[in-house]
Amino acid sequence: MLIIGLTGSIATGKSTVSSLLSAPPYKIPIIDTDLLARKVVEPGTPGYKAIVSYFGPSTPDLLLPASSDDPTGKRWLNRPALGRRVFGTSEEVSRDRMILNKIVHPAVRWEVYKSLVYYYVRGYWAVVLDVPLLFESGMDVICGTVIVVGVTDPAIQMARLRARDAHLTAEDAENRVRSQGDVKGKVRQAEFRGTTSARGVIVWNDGDKAELEKEVQKAVSTISSSSPRWWAWVLLLVPPLGVGVAAWNYAVSFATQKSWQKKVQEEKARL
């Protein structure tokens, strides 16, 4: 089974691409880590308790009031309030974001691995792993292909983000865009994986939805050519081969990741 990592920056259109890939004619199952991240911090979970313990004393509005329609009296996380604590570039905010990630990421990874096993044993030829911080979290090492959804102008991101989330100020929107990294950097990293081998695929989303659909169609065609459906069945029916291919892919991705990190360090050293 081919694991297709899907990433981008906030408001580049990654969710729209995810929706297109899950719908006909592609019908590729999606593992959405944003949804999993919400699941692992629902009231009563270890993640919820850890977040309340750390952020609660200094964030009075961290929890929403209990709903009168909910007899359990659960108080859900106030995500905008938590977002204000972790989106930004200051040292304090960066530390808080790191702590939040340490709480959420391990639980999300476990849910991801369970989902991958579920789709593998059911014979799917591919699955999309939708991760906003795919490269930053290191999860690109398990992906055979990475799709980056990008835009050429950051102003497009800002406009789309504020249109989607009207409560955000211009400063809030800028902080959220910056917190997810430069999308052009992600494009470069995907290209470094190899565009000719379809290990890195770029989907540009500067236009309307019709243009985006054409970009997605081209991307899927490229990926399918390098990893056809029949190959997924061979790997499923011959488990030792499947394990070997998975190990080989991991080794290639790991080596590529290390080479990229070395390249970035060398570039910084020259500045």
pLDDT at 83: 86
Average model confidence (pLDDT) for the chain? 89
pLDDT at 133: 86
Architecture of domain 1-29+125-271: 3-Layer(aba) Sandwich (3.40)
Nearest by Cα to 194 from 127, 126, 260, 128: 260
| Cβ atoms 197, 226 nearer than 8 A | yes
pLDDT at 158: 77
b/e map 89-118, b = 16+ CB within 10 Å: eeeebeebbebbbebbbebbbebbeebbee
How does pLDDT run across 146-203, given as a tens digit for each residue?
Answer: 999 998 887 777 778 877 777 777 777 777 766 666 788 899 999 999 998 899 999 9
How does pLDDT run across 37-68, given as a tens digit for each residue?
Answer: 999 999 999 999 999 999 999 888 999 888 87
Q: Please, what CATH class does the domain formed by 39-123 belong to? A: alpha beta
pLDDT at 211: 94
**Tokens 């540009």 sit on residue:** 204
pLDDT at 268: 85
Helix or strand run (H / E) with residue 150: strand 145-150
| Fold: same for 1-29+125-271 and 39-123 | yes
pLDDT at 251: 95
Looking at mean pLDDT, say which of 71-85, 120-134, 155-169 comes out highest.
120-134
Q: Are strands 30-32 and 126-130 parallel, antiparallel or unpaired?
A: parallel
DSSP state of 45: S
Listed by start position, the domains of the chain span 1-29+125-271, 39-123
Cα separation, 27 vs 117, in Å, equals: 18
